[in-house]
Chains A and B, each alone.
Chain A
Amino acid sequence: AQTVTQSQPEMSVQEAETVTLSCTYDTSENNYYLFWYKQPPSRQMILVIRQEAYKQQNATENRFSVNFQKAAKSFSLKISDSQLGDTAMYFCAFMKHGSVNRDDKIIFGKGTRLHILP
């Protein structure tokens, strides 16, 4: 069974600083996806960034980037120039690469609560 571990329950950084959220996972699969979802106080789940395991290049979306280390099963999220609106719960998530006729569920970590301080 796949597991996702986020070892930092809560973090605080000053606005404009860079912060890195850690995530490790365990799987015997070779093909899979990794995601970071953001959950602001409104509690909606918003996709921040995705990474396909077969891609060596780390995904980047504006101020958000990942450090994907497949051998180490590590998938950290870096937020550059942090903004007050980045305050949220961040979930690391894993999904197997589904077969043709079915997809697979997303497995979430427990989340890291990130506070951006003015």
Chain B
Amino acid sequence: EPEVTQTPSHQVTQMGQEVILRCVPISNHLYFYWYRQILGQKVEFLVSFYNNEISEKSEIFDDQFSVERPDGSNFTLKIRSTKLEDSAMYFCASSEPRSEAFFGQGTRLTVV
């Protein structure tokens, strides 16, 4: 069964460093998303991506964040100059039009 794959599963980084979280969406899906879940809290939408551009972003998704689909298969989330409060579980998801999103297993980001 096709699945969304995220790497790494766990990333520890120093405050102020840049991190790139990687995702391989399901191959025939057209819509891609990043969500964030701070430990014990709700899952929050960050950004959606369609047709090689951002279609929507939340107020969380500020200039510190960027997304890219560099090679037609990978979908990346870059966080520049990480802060302690960026520590969270980051989920990538993809979907077909008008269908539920399938989530990856998540990347646990720890900023120290």
Which single member of A43, A47, A102, A111 contacts B100 (CB below 8 Å)?
A47
Q: A45-B103, A103-B55 are in contact. List 18 more A-B contacts (CB 8 A).
A: A33-B100, A42-B105, A43-B37, A44-B103, A44-B106, A45-B91, A45-B106, A50-B100, A95-B100, A98-B97, A102-B31, A102-B55, A103-B30, A103-B95, A105-B45, A106-B100, A109-B42, A110-B41
User: Total interface residues on B, using CB and 8 Å?
Assistant: 29
Residues on A lying within 8 angstroms of B by beta carbon are 33, 35, 37, 42-47, 50, 91, 95, 97-98, 100-111
Residues on B lying within 8 angstroms of A by beta carbon are 30-31, 33, 35, 37, 41-45, 48, 50-51, 55-56, 89, 91, 93, 95, 97-98, 100-106, 108
A19 to chain B, nearest CB (A): 21
Residue among B31, B33, B35, B101 with the highest chain A CB neighbour number at 10 A: B101
